[in-house]
Chain A
Amino acid sequence: MLNYKEEYDKIKNEFCGTCDLRTIELTVCGRSACFFYIDGYIDTLLFEDNILSPLKALQGDGAVTMDMLNENTQMTTPIQEIPDYVKAVSEISAGEIVLLADGAESFFRYSEKKYQLRAVAEPPVSTVLRGPREGFIEDLKTNMFLIRRRLASPKLNFEIMNVGKYTQTKIAVCFLDGVADPKIVDRIKTQIEKIDIDGIVESSYVSRYLEENKFSLFSHVGSSEKPDTVVGKILEGRVAILVDGSPAVLTLPFLMYENFQMSEDYYIKSYRASMVRIVRLFALIFSILMPGIYVALQEHHYQLFPIKYLVSVLGQITNIPLSPLLEMLFVLVIFEILNETSIRMPRYVSMALSVVGAIILGEAAVTAGLFSISSVIIVAISTVGLYCIPDEINSSSILRFAFVAVGGVLGIVGILLVMTGVLAYLCSINSYGIAYMSPFAPSLIHDWQDGPIKAQLQEFGERPYSVPTSNRTRQRTTIEQNQNKSQDENNTQNQEN
């Protein structure tokens, strides 16, 4: 049985006198009682109308029990009993309302949360011309709802864990029971349980712990801000990890070729989707390699330039004081500075700084003979091309620098050898037991239907072989079966006629 004074003091001490802890003391059935909650976290109108007023009006004498509270208060979520003050403090910190009543067997928890949330809107980094424009927000429940709305199946499973000593961040592991491989689900849950940290502020903290190789340049955990993308991955047998406070939902296992797949590819004709995917692939290769190849050609292999272009390049670089390698590195650094500035700068000065970047750095520097036009153009196209695959921008921009350095020192052979080394490294990585370069290395021809050349949606009869799953069949019929079916129906109609 709880002693009101004692427990009241314990809870107040735990919160160290913080000003946003609200206490409402009252008498319930002749016993002293107190509600604890954090200001700004609850729906005060509902609290007053459905919980506080009925309890204040209660007559009688006796201990406060669960049955009595259920009878006399109206809630949208069930009341829970909390055995000790430690858990009660944790629930108050999480935004719940806790009732302490003198003589009761336990604390009682009400859940009537209401707080300011960002509206569901299109994510700024995942815009589409065709397709849903909803994006995840920072609230876990809303994100769970956005997935549930698209996957109205009782097999959709959310398992919630609390991680972070001080933040107690809720992390939901989401998968389709009967589709996702249970071993992978267990492995992910085990990895999350092992996280021992002060606080989880964003989902990237969790992804660092889920990655199998912490020093890798490439991301081993997928991430998306779009519910339709995440639902598509769950349907393939992957597991989604939602982190409260972050709009980026993680997906595992993650393979390299997923970087080239965008949600819009599945909403447009497969011919166009295939073309766009090939363009993305070439854009990435071009963006990473072109600055280095250009430097290598200038430094070591000028004989490979076509004659007319060679004359043009020679004319441009004649008065440049820097070597091709240093020139390219400087231009890359300047573009990285511009890139970083464009993300961080206030809107009010963006116009002026854009002018500075474009006209002064671009044209004036070239006219002054600091840089050549061709190097500025190549780096500009390369930078733009990197954003075809925004998720790999971090690794791509670092590799760009590396290839420029190697190209300047060793030439095209150096670039090729480093590219070979990078590819070999990618081929050696596994993501939760699956080869990272799957389905291209090792080759899984079935999965190529969703590769650079995308097949028609009706041909996706089985889930990808590169992702372990409990149920390989995705849909029962294929195009041929549908055609046979419609032919049979036509024949039947003709016979009837």
Chain B
Amino acid sequence: MKEDQLNKVYEDQFLLLAFVTIVTFKVVMLPQYFVKAASNNGYMIMAFLVIVEMMMMAVVYGITKNGSLLQLDVPKWLKGVFAILVFSSSFIKSTVLGSEGVSYISTSIYDNVSWIFITLALLATCTYLAHKGGKVIARSTQIFFWIMAFALLFFAMFSNVNLNLLNLMPFKISGELAVAGDRYLMWFGDFTPLLFIHVCKSPNRKKYRLALWTVLTVIGTLVCTVGLMILFTCTFGGAGELIGNAFINISSLNKISFMIGSADLPTVLAWLVMCVTKFSLLLYAMTECAKFFFGNRALVAAICGAVVCVVICYVIGNLNTNYKWATSWLRYYAFFAEFCVTIAAYIAMRISQRKKEKTTPQTKEAQNAQADTSAAQSIQGGNA
């Protein structure tokens, strides 16, 4: 019961987490990679895969409104399989995407500081959040939302980008898109951490408000991913494959930075809080899976955080190794694990629900039959 309380999340919080999960790591290195692989049409494959991801989020919502993944009424061995798959895919993603985040921080905000300090600081915070559970991560994200909203508004108000729409030409759907989508699968399919939360109806719930939030989330996700990709392509064109960090380069293009110095800090900080949320969700998924086998939540969270920290600092260590990992066979494993677990969990949940529906009407019929029999017996007794 207490564990369920740690993971209870409201619908609007779920939408916010979905937004952060989808957007965070698609705005850093991915635009550069897509331009390299798919030239100026990278935004098309970005749009396709983001839409697929959003559709899978709907499946995740369908599962989690009945309870978290490990609370479903499915056989325990199946839950164990799910836990192993999700743990491994979350571990791969947390190391690969975490390295990208650490590289972003060390190069953009510092003068190339060592990864160890940043990783330790980042993982300490994210491990704490992971240990606290989905509810605390969701609530924290609701507070961070104001920083993100303020930063995006600041950027929208003062942006000073020279857009060249011709950079989007020519429109062509070619094999390059499939190659790009295949090579960078690691950056897509991040929905399994949300399987461990239990989505509940918010108090004072109004349906129109939920519909409005859903529409805003979808639009916001598309704008921040596909919109940023289009903006990146229009601004840098083919030269985008040389731009190491899309988000920071776009956000530094604002009027104020020419007047008072570096003013891309609000948008950078907004991305950092999204990174903390996303990373915490991955560690949270690992903690939930490991806890399924080993029990002690705090210890398990600390060990997961420590292992991820060691892998980021000493096994990966730099962006080149990170890229090799991200584009190796690990991407297929992670991507298909994400899809397989989600779809399999949904199917298993529906099967168990069907079974319950079948047994419940039979019970009622049996009761009605018994009542008829006893009534008939009493009448027969009276007559005799």
A: residues with CB less than 8 A from B are 300-301, 303-307, 309-310, 410-414, 416-418, 420-421, 423-424, 427-428, 435, 437, 440-446, 465
Contact = CB atoms under 8 A, between A and B. Distances in A.
B202 interface: yes
Contacts of B140: 420, 423-424, 427, 441
Contacts of A427: 136, 139-140, 143
Contacts of B105: 413
A446 B206 CA distance: 11
Interface stretch (B45-53, B118-126, B354-362): B118-126
Nearest to B129: A424
A442 B9 CA distance: 9
Contacts of B135: 428
Interface in B92-140: 105, 109-111, 113, 117-118, 121-122, 124-125, 128-129, 132, 135-140
30 contacts: A300-B110, A300-B111, A304-B261, A305-B261, A310-B261, A410-B121, A411-B109, A412-B265, A413-B118, A416-B269, A416-B273, A417-B124, A418-B125, A420-B125, A420-B144, A420-B273, A421-B129, A424-B129, A427-B136, A427-B139, A428-B135, A428-B136, A441-B140, A442-B10, A442-B202, A443-B10, A443-B13, A444-B204, A445-B204, A465-B204
B12 interface: yes
Contacts of B204: 444-446, 465
A468 to B, nearest CB: 11
Given A300-B113, A441-B139, 17 more contacts: A300-B110, A304-B261, A305-B261, A411-B110, A412-B109, A413-B110, A413-B121, A417-B122, A417-B125, A421-B125, A421-B129, A424-B125, A424-B129, A424-B136, A428-B132, A428-B135, A441-B140
B262 interface: yes
B11 to A, nearest CB: 10
A301 B109 contact: yes
B109 A413 contact: yes
The list of the 8 closest CB pairs from A to B, nearest first, reads A306-B261, A441-B139, A427-B139, A441-B142, A417-B125, A306-B260, A428-B136, A424-B140
B110 A444 contact: no
Contacts of B124: 417, 421
Interface in B53-100: none
Contacts of B142: 440-443
A442 B13 contact: yes
A445 B262 contact: no
If over half of A's interface residues share one DSSP class (helix, strand or loop), that class is named, otherwise mixed; here it is helix
Contacts of A300: 110-111, 113
B303 to A, nearest CB: 19
Given A420-B125, A428-B136, A443 B261 contact: no
Contacts of A428: 132, 135-136, 139
Contacts of A424: 125, 128-129, 132, 136-137, 140
Contact of A414 (B121, B132, B203, B209): B121
A440 B261 contact: no
Interface in B257-278: 260-262, 265, 269, 272-273, 276
Nearest to A472: B204
Nearest to A446: B204
A254 B128 CA distance: 25
A350 B230 CA distance: 65
Given A300-B110, A301-B110, A410 B117 contact: yes
A217 B105 CA distance: 30
Contacts of A423: 140, 143-144
If over half of B's interface residues share one DSSP class (helix, strand or loop), that class is named, otherwise mixed; here it is helix
Contact of A465 (B118, B203, B265): B203
B139 A417 contact: no
Q: Which of B124, B128, B137 has the most CB of A within 10 A?
A: B128
Contact of A304 (B136, B144, B265): B265
Interface in B314-343: none
Contacts of A445: 204, 209
A493 B113 CA distance: 79
Contacts of B203: 444, 465
Contacts of B273: 416, 420
B139 A437 contact: yes
A154 to B, nearest CB: 31
Contacts of B136: 424, 427-428
A435 B139 contact: yes
Contact of B276 (A301, A304, A417): A417
Given A424-B129, A424-B136, A445-B209, A304 B262 contact: yes
Contacts of B202: 442-443
Contacts of B13: 442-443
A414 B132 CA distance: 20
A445 B202 CA distance: 11
Nearest to A435: B139
B132 A413 contact: no
A91 B121 CA distance: 60
A428 B128 CA distance: 11
Nearest to A418: B125
A21 to B, nearest CB: 54
Nearest to B280: A424
B109 to A, nearest CB: 6
A247 to B, nearest CB: 34
Contact of A441 (B143, B209, B276): B143
Contacts of B272: 413, 416
A479 to B, nearest CB: 20
Q: Which of A301, A310, A410, A416 has the most CB of B within 10 A?
A: A416
Contacts of A303: 262
A237 to B, nearest CB: 15
A446 to B, nearest CB: 5
Q: Which of B109, B117, B122, B262 has the most CB of A within 10 A?
A: B109
Contacts of B262: 303-304
Nearest to A465: B204
Nearest to B12: A443
Contacts of B260: 306
Interface in B10-36: 10, 12-13
A424 B143 CA distance: 9
B138 to A, nearest CB: 8
Interface string B137-171: 11110111000000000000000000000000000
Nearest to A301: B109
Contacts of A417: 121-122, 124-125, 276
